[in-house]
Amino acid sequence: MRNRKQLETFHRHLDNEVGGGAYTLYTNDRRATQDEPAHRRHCGVASFFHRSMPGYTTLTHLSQYDVPGRYLVATALWGNLSVYIHNVYAPVESDLRGAIFELLPRDFEPESVHLVGGDFNIPLHSTLDTCSPHPRHGGGKQDCVELLTALGVVDALDYLFLDHELVSQLNPKATYDKNDFGGDHLTHTVTLSRSPAPTTKPYWRLPREHLLDPNIQSAITMEATSLLASMRDDQDLNHGAMWYGWLKRMKAKLIHCHRLHTQAASNQLQTLQLRLAAAKRALEWHGDHAQAAGEVTAAQLALDSAKAEHSQHALDRQFDFHAN
């Protein structure tokens, strides 16, 4: 913050957007408590809580753990469970990060849950978290990992960490969104819900080429003839229900045929791959290199042809699905 007045202005904006009394904002910024601060404007943390969160009425800022401009922690009760929400802003300077992480508290109840967010200014994974690794990026990494391990949280990118027991019992959903407020980070949001993860069956559409198979044609004709005979034998039956049941049974059988067809195609590719591997192995040990080389070439051509056919079939199926 620039000064105390800017924090007051920020609160007025929140009151207009969120509603007075509908939120709690904890800050740890030395400039936000002074009218004309002497400290330069370079660090500070703030944690926002909406009244819709569980345990909002028990929310407390544990100011005794504050590290000026770098760390604040709040706690709330979810039933009988103590939940701690940590907000960390580590120094950009690599030689200062380790000391900050060492200062942070880690002596909490064994059964407590921890949510850790903020900006650690450190790539915890040199490959995933940075596109241009540099030796100074590692400063304070060991101290950071020791802290996170002590709190029992799970690593995540940029930079939210959740308690393992928490994510194993609730349904977490994480998103990265465009940052409209400036800076070089995306907005990272994690939503925890008690509702089960939605499960939907994949949409199935009958591959038209199956209807060209004489065996499938004769099977459908036989089933339809049997259904028609049953309907004609007793006019008092519920023909609509019989027709609906027949459609469901036929769909199930066609899905089964489709799965068998797909499995057969996969088995064919696997067989050709094994044949090619055997031919290559024979080429290494066989005395007649000309014959063995010919078998390798033939096996490779057969595999390439089958792959091309399989790929083209998949493309045709995708086109038919979207075209219809």
pLDDT of residue 48: 94
Same domain, 149 and 174: yes
Q: Which of 128, 159, 193 is the last residue of a domain?
A: 193
The pairs formed by 242-246 with CB atoms below 8 angstroms and a separation of 24 or more are none
Please give the sequence-ordered ranges of beta strands (E in DSSP) within the chain, or none if there are none: 23-28, 45-50, 60-61, 71-78, 81-89, 113-119, 153-154, 161-163, 171-177, 187-193
Q: Which of 193, 220, 247 is the last residue of a domain?
A: 193
Q: Which domain holds residue 249?
A: 208-323
Q: What is the CATH number of the domain that holds 62?
A: 3.60.10.10
281 domain residue, yes or no: yes
Same domain, 234 and 100: no
201 domain residue, yes or no: no
230 C-beta neighbours (distance < 10 Å), count: 13
pLDDT of residue 127: 58
Same domain, 132 and 280: no
Same domain, 109 and 187: yes
Q: Which of 158, 193, 228 is the last residue of a domain?
A: 193
Same domain, 279 and 187: no
Same domain, 166 and 28: yes
pLDDT of residue 316: 62
Same domain, 97 and 22: yes
- The domain total for the chain is 2
Same domain, 80 and 24: yes
263 domain residue, yes or no: yes
157 domain residue, yes or no: yes
200 domain residue, yes or no: no
Same domain, 47 and 181: yes
Same domain, 58 and 101: yes
pLDDT of residue 315: 66
203 domain residue, yes or no: no
78 domain residue, yes or no: yes
Same domain, 97 and 216: no
What are the pLDDT tens digits along the chain (324 aa)? 778 888 898 888 888 888 888 999 999 988 887 877 777 777 899 999 999 999 999 999 999 999 999 999 999 999 899 999 999 999 888 888 889 999 999 999 988 999 998 888 887 766 555 556 666 666 788 888 888 888 888 655 555 777 777 777 788 888 877 777 766 567 778 888 877 666 666 677 777 778 888 888 999 999 999 999 988 888 888 888 889 888 989 888 888 888 888 888 888 888 888 888 888 877 777 666 777 788 888 888 888 888 888 777 666 666 555 444
284 domain residue, yes or no: yes
Element (DSSP H or E) covering residue 282: helix 239-285
pLDDT of residue 55: 93
CA 229 to chain centre: 53
DSSP letter for each residue of 197-238: PP--PPP----GGGGG-HHHHHHHHHHHHHHHHHHHH-TTS-
Same domain, 155 and 238: no
